[in-house]
Structure 1
Amino acid sequence: MTSDQTTAPPIDKSGAVPPAIQAAASWSWRMLLIGAFVAAALWLITLLKTIVIPVAVALLLTIMLTPFRRLLNERLRVPRGLSAGLSLVGLVVVVVGLITLAGQSIANGFADLRTQAISGFNELWTQVSVTFGLEQELRSYSQDILDQLEAQQSAIVSGVFGAAATAGSVLVGALIALFCTFFFLHDPRGIWGWLVGLLPQSSRERVNQAGRRGAVTLAAYTRTQILVAGVDALGIGIGAVFFVPSLALPISILVFVGSFVPVVGAIVTGAIAVVVVLVSNGWVAALIMLGVVLLVQQIESHALQPFLMGQAVSLHPVAVILAVAAGSYAAGIVGALFAVPLAAVLNTVILYLNGHDKFPELGDEDALPIRWRAADAPPIPLRLRRSPGVVAEAAVEDVGIDEELDPSGRGASEGDQKR
């Protein structure tokens, strides 16, 4: 070794960052980015909730009505647009009919229930005041409540106007949901193909296949939840027939709608049924009705949910409870309604993108066209200029994702390929 050559000093590794800290830091900044993206997405959804919620409802309605639309279109040979319209009109007729029947039952039942409730309340008031000597205090509290109501008349009036504005928003949302449902039924492949076509070409096929499996999961969840809600409504409705026959139908409809919020919805609507029976028939009948509700809940929890819902969405009951709690905390009733199907679809899609296919029987042969076009639309005549002075007629047909573009990036018709 020459004199001008120097020996490098030994590296002191005592101050190096341990591998565990490096891995934790790497995971931390990635999780922060994911959290920021989720927060931004939730903020955007909240900002556009008047549009997002009707579209989500339209997706669920589309899943429910697709079998009927296929029956009309494929078995009865009804044109696709007409079959979608008939399916939607049938849904509206059923919903309006149920609301009308429930309204008549409520109007007839509450006339008798009001008298029973008033007498029962007065009897309870007398028993409590005499037994505990609270007559003067209760009268004072009732007078305070009346004074507060009189003082808050302006707030009550403003609340009524706010309720009217909310009703207007609900009406607009219902119209958007019906509009989207019709087109989702009429041309689901065209709309999905247009969305996939917005992505880079290299990722279109994987996103298409992941979306297909997410749609299958959503359909399985919807069918299973309808069955579970039907069982809850039937069981509790039969119990209500023996105590409040005039209100049995409204209670059944309420339980059916509430059961679409897993676990929590059926409990809340069952409690309402018990309170109605308590007001109308007393404690003994209420206890019997409570037993009916608990029996129905046990059948749902130990028979329907594990076997049906577990197979449909592959989510643990703990995950279902946490999803409902998070959804209700973030967006109230709407969040509780959509939390479980969203979690189920995300579970299926993320697993597929990570290499685990829950539905291998679907295969990967189904390729969608990129450009929007109705499935039953006739060929579109186009005049393709081959060269100066030469014009050829061609018809645009549906092609797959890999056949959409030629290597040069320009569309090629069948006639072009032959020439």
Structure 2
Amino acid sequence: MTSPRGADDGGSAGHGPRTAEPDPSPLVPRWLAVTGAWSWRVVAACAVIAIVVWAGVQIQLVLIALFLGLVVTAVLGPVAAYLRRWLPAGPATALALLVGALGVAGLLTFVVVAVAGQWQHMGTAIEAGVEDLLDLLRSGRLPVTVSDEEIDHWFAVLADWWAAHRWSLAGSAAAQVGSVLVWFMVIALGVFCAACFLAGGPKMWTWTVRQLPAAARPRLRTAGTAAWRAFGGYTRGAFYTALCIGALAFALLLVLRVPLAGPLAVLVFIGGFIPLIGAPAAMVVAMLVALAANGLWSMVAVGIGIALIGQLEGHVLQPLIMGRHIRLHGMVVGVVVSAGTLVGGLVGAVVAVPVVGVAWAVFRALRPEPEDDPDEPLPLLTA
């Protein structure tokens, strides 16, 4: 005859059904226990993220240099790979970097020559444009009417402000010299990192993977491949898209006979790297130049033309060039760019979208295949 204790022992040994263990805290509701367990995990995760962000802020210039090196690597990687067919890795990398440097130097030369050639005409045009704008304000043909006394008062306030702050502005400009030197060092470090990545990036990645346990290596390889494909594709796509809208803006400004068409087109090209806010900011500058040089209707034409170019960028170029690399909803892009701008300023606005896009690509590569559930709309949207 088997005793109850023996039955219990047999059940615990795997020879019979195991009875459910009693709740160690019967006085605590289950939902509260689950909420508490998740709460401390969320707090711990937030603490880790805060520490990482704090550490990143302390070495932000180094991180910016690494990001710049990755951008240069993504843009010049195809050039270096093409040259490596005939040259060793070192000379191919040096020649690819030389091609990139010549491209940047040519762009700067183009801007300087265009400004120098049109600066005298631009000064006269700006003076005439300002007078025309003041005449419009005086005449009452605009919704806002300004009298001569108010205009004189504005100029007097501006002159007083300049007299009070000119020395502090000069001191601030002198203090910025040190910042310029620091940024030159950041650019130099970024170019050096790009040279290392172009020459031996695959070997560096292989060495990094081998430092981890063998069980973790496949997932790291999968994550690294997805991250680089997303980042490289986004960077090259952003470069080609910005180049296209810069060329279209240059053609538009030439047709409308706006002075400084070349520098303004370069400004539109640079603004194309900042999603949502870069192109509109460049558009405002181009409109102000058109207003000062050619009058109100030229400004309106420039605004309409660059707005149409922006629509072409958002609905044709970006989906065609970058759609398969980073797939983020427009609302997500807007929130990410806004958050990046608030946290890191202009650098944050540039970095935010590729960082979030790469994180999403890694998540998609590592997550298990989801079950095919039917798409059910929200009840709120089906009333």
Per the normalisation by structure 1, the TM-score is: 0.77
- Asked if residue 104 in structure 1 is aligned to residue 117 in structure 2, the reply is no
Match of 2:368, SS?
coil
Corresponding residue for 1:141?
154
In structure 1, distance between residues paired with 2:320 and 2:110:
34
Per-residue deviation, residues 27-50 of structure 1 (Å, max 9, x unmatched): 222222222222222222221122
Moved more, 84-93 or 244-253: 244-253
Alpha-carbon deviation of 1:220?
Answer: 1.5
1:261, 1:192 → 2: CA distance?
A: 29
Q: For residue 70 of structure 1, what is the aligned residue in structure 2?
A: 81
Post-superposition offset of 1:246: 5.0
Q: Quote the residue 1:94 is aligned against.
A: 103
2:5 is matched with: none
Q: Which amino acid aligns with 2:330?
A: P
Letter in 1 for 2:44: L
Q: 1:185 to 1:135 in 2, by over 3 A?
A: same
Cα distance per residue 1:248-291 (max 9 Å; x no partner)? 22122111111011222122212222221121111111111112
CA contact (8 A) 1:120 1:279 kept: yes
For the residues of structure 1 that align with 2:352 and 2:226, how far apart are their CA atoms? 18
- Structure with the higher fraction of residues in helix conformation: 2
Residues 105-131 of structure 1: CA deviation (Å, up to 9, x unaligned): 012223211111112213433553575
Query: Is the partner of 2:336 in helix, strand or coil?
Result: helix
Q: In 2 relative to 1, CA 244–224 (structure 1 residues): closer, same or farther, beyond 3 Å? A: same
- Find out whether 1:299 has 2:324 as its counterpart: no
Between the aligned partners of 1:145 and 1:192, the Cα distance in structure 2 is: 57
1:29 aligns with 2:40: yes
- Paired residues in the alignment total 345
Q: Which residue of 1 is the match for residue 379 of structure 2?
A: none
Q: Tell me if the contact between 1:310 and 1:316 (Cα under 8 Å) persists in the aligned partners.
A: no
Deviations 1:302-350 (A, max 9, x none): 2233444332212111111111111111111111111111111111112
Q: Is the 8 A contact 1:108 1:246 kept in 2?
A: no
RMSD: 2.3
Specify the alignment match of 1:122 in structure 2: 131
| 1:113 and 2:122 are equivalent in the alignment | yes
Matched ranges for 1:145-184 at <5 A: 145-184=158-197
My pick for the range that moved more, 342-351 or 129-138, is: 129-138
Answer with 266-275 or 207-216: which moved more.
266-275
Structure 1: state its 5+ residue gaps: 1-10, 358-419
CA distance in 2, matches of 1:209, 1:355: 13
The alignment-based identity, stated in percent, is 26
Cα 1:246–1:280, aligned 2, differ >3 Å: closer, same or farther? closer
Residue 192 of structure 1 pairs with residue 205 of structure 2: yes
Equivalent of 2:70 in 47, 54, 59: 59
1:315 match: 328
CA 1:22–1:81 in structure 2 vs 1: closer, same or farther (change >3 Å)?
Answer: same
Q: Does 1:340 align with 2:347?
A: no
Further displaced range: 19-28 or 294-303:
19-28
Given the alignment, which residue of 226, 232, 236 partners 1:219? 232
